[in-house]
Amino acid sequence: MRLACDTGGTFTDLIVEDESGQLGMYKASTTPADPVQGVIDALKLAADDEGVSLGDYLARADSFIHGTTHAINAVVTGRTARTALLTTQGHPDVLVLREGGRAEPFNFTIAYPEPYIPRALTYEVPERISADGKIVRPLDETALVATCAKLREAEVEAVAVALLWSVANDAHEQRVREILRQHLPAVPVTLSSELNPTIREFRRASSAAIDASLKPLMASYLGSLSRRLKDAGFMGRLLVLTSQGGMVDANEIAASPIRAINSGPSLAPIAGKYFGELTKPGADIVVADTGGTTYDVSLVRGGRIPLTRDAWIGQPFRGHLTGFPSVDVQSVGAGGGSIAHVDKGGLLRVGPQSAGSTPGPVCYARGGTEPTLTDACLALGYVDPDYFLGGKMWLDREAACQAIKDKVADPLGMSVEEAAAAIVTLATENMASAIADITVNQGIDPRHSVLIGGGGAAGLNSIFIARRMNIPRLVIPEVGAALSAAGALMSELAADYRAVEYMVTTNFDMARANKILRGLQRKGEAFLAETAGVSFAPQIELSLEARYEQQVWEIEVPLSFDHFSSEADIKKLAEAVHQSHERIFAFRDEGSAIEIIGWSARASCRVHEHIIGRMKPHAKEAERAGTRRVYFGGSGFCDAAVVPFSALAVDRIHNGPALIESPFSSVVADPGSVFWRTIDGSLVIDIAAQGADA
């Protein structure tokens, strides 16, 4: 039995795949003060559903896959360890100067962002290595020992080491760690050259600083999770999801916790890719995961899930740049818990503030007083107050309507229904803008793509988002309410390796290139050898970071072969760069030489032979067929059919308006749409109302 859990801002999602391959889904409220408790609560729901004790239930599980926002939440809230930065003498301002760039270049009222590690905890190390790896100034070990005493006096809890050009020669960073271990044995250390070998000093230093600051916290969190699971009866393998869309053993995340910064959101694209390709092969896939706090959007293009090194914690240019490769996910403060209010100018706003799980929307009856998107959908009839989470949680519709009336409708001179529809419309616009950023702004026509709706709140307005963006087809997988947790079941054990070696196609050294590739492949083969006997579909994917000559930024380009044997292979490389550049920027420059900055290998394998099973049918779902009075903005009230999700026959066409309900979601199909269920269990809604073309 496999368990996959994703801890979100509002709910903790759990998907269980039993010994027969059938799936069960469970949701428990996230407890911000103790995230592990939300995990335990979800597991108790699963055990109760089976009619066994938690200990007996966990004893059947062979693996527990965990995705968490604990690391990123710690950075955002400032709950990280007291961390020091060691850098080359004469360069203490690497985190202060950053890379430049401003979100509002002419707004001089915005304060310059504070460095991740303050200058007071930045220490200069007498040493210098040149860009070609030669030692210009030997490491002054006596001075470093004196610095260790200062670190002890400052009560430092973690240390990041980022010396100039350590990617060309890491000897000094390695020696610094040895000395730190001798004098500060209990203090964790992160070396920038090991964690994130890249030529850009700020990104390398920033990632090392963030990683080091998280080590004490994540070691404690994962230790607590492992201990409490073991105490509850779990004896299997604990795996943690990474920002790169894979999974690793928990001890590896404790050693480099920056890998888990976006571990939850990074898995939704994996599930979205699987269901999107089943529904519409070859199309670009927009994956949207609607949680209680955020709306996370990602893209699958050409069958690949793009990675980015421009992941910010907080606002771009004002927050902190991880500089570490992760699945490209755009997040906006719009979710089921987004708070609606009227500002001082009399304009309606929705988000980015969220009611979260505590106190939650007004309808949760947990003390919330501010109306949210969930409250609005309840007021419009999109959600059944007696069937939330399959009837395990009752919603207070009257309180939701009263809050909307007091805080939105009366100030704007509207009826409650008009105000609720306006809240949904504005939230939809915020979410559509996030999709435009990763499609239209990158040269992708949404009219030729498919939208995957994930998250418990996805069904409430995904049809409106699809219409707003002219996306012709919306897909809600049967596991869509816990899309990231489903992606965890589909994820692979993976390890990434990287080398920084400059080369240009006009003076290409095939022997040197093959040596680099072979070295990366050996590392990947060693990783896969460790998984032999418990893995399926092992593979090693090679890629390059390349750019046209004189360009500032490079792009990731997949390499279709594992070694260079002739000039023809160099031409293949050039063509791959041209194609990638044209796909992203809509032009190619075949007259330019190509510079290669980085070389990468990703070794991966599945831990189970099959990818994912099917949901267990819910016996009481079929009894819920009927109609419900709902309100659509622009057309008013109408009677919508209530259709149980599990009762939908495969490929049978239905017409909106309708509400397709399951214990974990309510999907709105507006007038003019058609919908049907596919053989893999997904719900497909065609907004063009062309069912015959399905």
- At residue 424, the pLDDT reads 93
Q: 336: which residues sit within 8 A by CB, 6+ positions away?
A: 10, 290, 291, 292, 361, 372, 373, 374, 377, 455, 456, 457, 460
Strands 473-476 and 449-454: parallel
Distance CA 88, CA 115 (A): 17
How many angstroms from the chain centroid is the CA of residue 78?
A: 20
* pLDDT, greater one: 667 or 332: 667
Residue 690 has a pLDDT of: 43
The average pLDDT across 673-694 equals: 75
pTM above 0.75, yes or no: yes
User: Residue 606, class by beta-carbon neighbours within 10 Å (0-12 exposed, 13-18 middle, 19+ buried)?
Assistant: middle
Strand partners, 450: 285, 473
In eight-state DSSP terms, residue 112 is: P
What value does the mean pLDDT of the chain take?
89
Name the percent of the chain in helix, strand, coil, to the closest 5.
Answer: 35, 30, 35
Cis? peptide before 105, omega within 30° of 0: no
CATH tag for 2-75+218-260 (out of 3.20.20.10, 2.40.30.10, 3.30.420.40, 3.60.10.10): 3.30.420.40
State the residue for tokens 């893999």. 680
pLDDT in tens, 240-268: 999 888 898 898 999 999 998 878 778 88
The angle formed by the CA atoms of residues 364, 368 and 373, to the nearest 5 degrees, is: 70
Strands 83-88 and 158-162: parallel
pLDDT digits (tens, 9 = 90+) for 625-682: 788 999 998 788 999 999 888 888 898 999 989 999 888 888 999 988 899 999 988 9
Does the pLDDT value for residue 192 go beyond 50?
Answer: yes
Distance CA 71, CA 204 (A): 19
CATH assignment of 493-606, given 3.40.50, 2.50.20, 1.10.357, 3.30.1490? 3.30.1490
Q: What pLDDT sits at residue 155?
A: 96
pLDDT value of residue 313: 84
Torsion of CA 63, 69, 71, 72, to 10 degrees: 150
pLDDT of residue 165: 94
Residue 600 has pLDDT above 90, yes or no: yes
Q: How confident is the model at residue 688 (pLDDT cuts 50, 70, 90)?
A: low
Size of the chain, expressed as the number of residues it contains:
694
* Helix, coil or strand: residue 458: helix
Task: Please determine, for residue 372, whether its predicted confidence score (pLDDT) is greater than 80.
Answer: yes
- Encoded tokens for 315: 């606002």
Is residue 543 within 8 A of residue 557, CB to CB? The reply is yes
Is residue 433 within 8 Å of residue 332, measured between CB atoms?
yes
Q: What is the pLDDT of residue 689?
A: 46
CATH match for 80-213 among 3.40.50, 2.30.30, 3.40.1360, 1.10.3470: 3.40.1360
Q: How do the domains of the chain map onto residue ranges?
A: 2-75+218-260, 80-213, 264-484+627-694, 493-606
Which percentage of the chain shows pLDDT scores above 90?
56
Spatial CA neighbour of 374 closest among 462, 450, 292:
292
The answer on pLDDT for 411 being more than 90 is yes
Tens digits of residue pLDDT in 485-508: 888 888 888 999 999 999 999 999
pLDDT digits (tens, 9 = 90+) for 263-302: 877 888 999 999 998 888 888 899 998 877 778 899 998 7
Whether the predicted pLDDT of 389 surpasses 80: no
State the pLDDT at residue 693.
38
Q: What's the pLDDT score for residue 618?
A: 63
For 559-592, the pLDDT digits (tens) are 999 999 999 999 999 999 999 998 888 889 999 9
| DSSP conformational letter for 114 | P
Residue 467's region, left for phi above 0, alpha for psi from -120 to 50, else beta, is: alpha
For residue 657, whether the previous peptide bond is cis, meaning omega lies within 30 degrees of 0, is: yes
